[in-house]
Each structure stands twice: as structure tokens, then as C-alpha cells.
């Protein structure tokens, strides 16, 4: 199984504010859906709560929470990352979809990062992608797009492996 991280981050690694995304970037939502469709996605409890329509359709939703009482419609709740990964060991690719706490814990075990770099700064951000050593990673793909009428900022879809 390959453990992949998928995230959208601003110029300064910003990923969220007030338990919401930084901006609406429909092209990135489409990209996220295309890449994660049909796979298992692992997220923190706060990120789950930020989803506008609950569990993501056509994906096995896994939520991490230390709350043993927590039950979520459409998602399996795990008390830690490792038991979730053991349960998913037979999957081809598993996606860590955030937020900041879960990215930081999963990064050491990840083999691939799908990073949408949003070419703008978000000074009001309160959640950040963890620092990582770029020298450990190799960029295998990058596509850059300008802002347009639907997407307010230019952005790049980047894929890194190690
Ligand atoms: N830009 C992006 O790509 C992107 C993607 C996803 C999320 N986000 C943003 O990120 C922000 C949320 O990130 P966050 O760091 O505040 O929260 P988070 O990582 O989504 O969730 C944190 C919660 O996960 C649970 N948790 C953390 N570590 C755990 C562990 N080892 N074992 C079991 N449970 C564990 C805890 O839940 P309990 O408190 O229930 O125990 C904790 O409160 C939001 O602004 C969201 O919009 C951005």
C-alpha cells in the first residue's frame, strides 16, 4: 500500500482558517475528487466536521478521534493512525486528507504528496501544512494554471515522491 498525502496550501503553507478551507478553488475540488475517488481517505475529526455534506461519496471514509464514543454516519472512526493503516494494508493507495494534525503525524510514513500550491498568501490562516525536507522528495509532475473567472488565484498541481 502506498500512503499518499493530498493537500492544498498557500504560499506560506497555510491550509485553513476557523476550521474551513482558505478559499474556494473549484478546480482543486475537482482534482481532489478525481484523485481520491474509489480510495480510502483518512482525516482528523475536525476536518470531517468541516465537510459541508458529511462523508465523501465513493470513498471509504476514515476519521481519527480519541473520543471512544464517537460514531459517524458513513465513516469508520479509529483511535489512532496505525490501526487504521493496518486495517487498510491491502489497499493500493490510501489518502491522508488532513488537517494539520493528521498531516504532521502521517508525513513520516507517506510515500507521495499531491500538493496544490495556491500562489497567494493567507495571513488570517490558523492551520498549516507541516514543514518537510524537500531534499527527501522528488518532484515528478507539475501543472500550473492561471486564475480564471471561477478560480480566484493561480495554482499548481504538484506531485512529489520519495
Ligand atoms: N487545505 C487543505 O488541503 C486542507 C485539508 C484538510 C483540512 N484542512 C483544514 O485544516 C484545518 C483542520 O486541521 P486541524 O489540525 O485543526 O484538525 P484535524 O487534523 O482535521 O483534526 C484534529 C483531530 O483529529 C483527532 N486526532 C488527531 N491526532 C489523533 C491521533 N493520533 N489519534 C486519534 N485521533 C487524533 C483529534 O480528534 P478528537 O478531538 O475528536 O479526539 C483532533 O482533535 C481546517 O481549517 C481544515 O479546513 C485543509
pLDDT per residue as tens digits for the range 89-138: 999 999 999 999 999 999 999 999 999 999 999 999 999 999 999 999 99
What is the rounded CA–CA span in Å between residue 42 and residue 95? 6
For a mutational test of ligand 1's pocket, the pick from 6, 32, 96, 102, i.e. the residue with the most ligand atoms closer than 8 A to its C-beta, is 102
User: For residue 24, what is its C-alpha cell?
Assistant: 474556494
Q: How many domains does the chain have?
A: 1
For a mutational test of ligand 1's pocket, the pick from 16, 41, 63, i.e. the residue with the most ligand atoms closer than 8 A to its C-beta, is 16
- From the alpha carbon of 79, which atom of ligand 1 is closest? 33
Count H helices, E strands: the chain?
4, 10
Pairing type for strands 2-9 and 138-145 reads unpaired
Helix (H) or strand (E) segment spanning residue 86 = helix 81-87
Residue with cell 493567507: 122
User: What's the CATH number where 54 sits?
Assistant: 3.40.430.10
Q: Identify the CA nearest to 139 among candidates 109, 118, 160.
A: 160
What percent of the chain has pLDDT above 90? 99
Q: What is the mean pLDDT of the chain?
A: 98
What is the rounded CA–CA span in Å between residue 160 and residue 162? 7
Domain that holds residue 133: 2-161
How many angstroms separate the alpha carbon of residue 70 from the centre of ligand 1? 15
Amino acid at each position: 500500500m502506498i500512503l499518499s498525502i493530498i493537500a492544498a496550501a498557500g504560499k506560506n503553507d497555510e491550509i485553513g482558517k476557523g476550521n474551513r478551507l482558505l478559499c474556494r478553488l473549484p478546480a482543486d475540488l475537482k482534482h481532489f475528487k478525481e484523485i481520491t475517488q474509489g480510495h480510502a481517505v483518512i482525516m482528523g475529526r475536525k476536518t470531517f466536521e468541516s465537510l459541508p455534506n458529511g462523508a465523501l461519496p465513493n470513498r471509504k471514509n476514515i476519521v481519527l478521534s480519541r473520543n471512544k464514543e464517537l460514531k459517524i454516519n458513513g465513516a469508520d472512526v479509529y483511535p489512532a493512525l496505525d490501526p487504521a493503516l493496518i486495517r487498510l494494508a491491502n489497499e493500493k493507495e490510501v489518502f491522508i486528507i488532513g488537517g494539520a494534525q493528521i498531516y504532521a503525524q502521517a508525513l513520516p510514513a507517506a510515500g507521495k504528496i499531491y500538493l496544490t500550491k495556491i500562489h497567494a498568501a493567507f495571513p488570517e490562516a490558523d492551520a498549516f501544512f507541516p514543514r518537510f525536507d524537500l531534499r527527501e522528495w522528488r518532484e515528478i509532475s507539475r501543472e500550473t494554471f492561471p486564475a480564471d473567472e471561477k478560480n480566484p488565484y493561480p495554482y499548481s498541481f504538484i506531485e512529489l515522491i520519495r
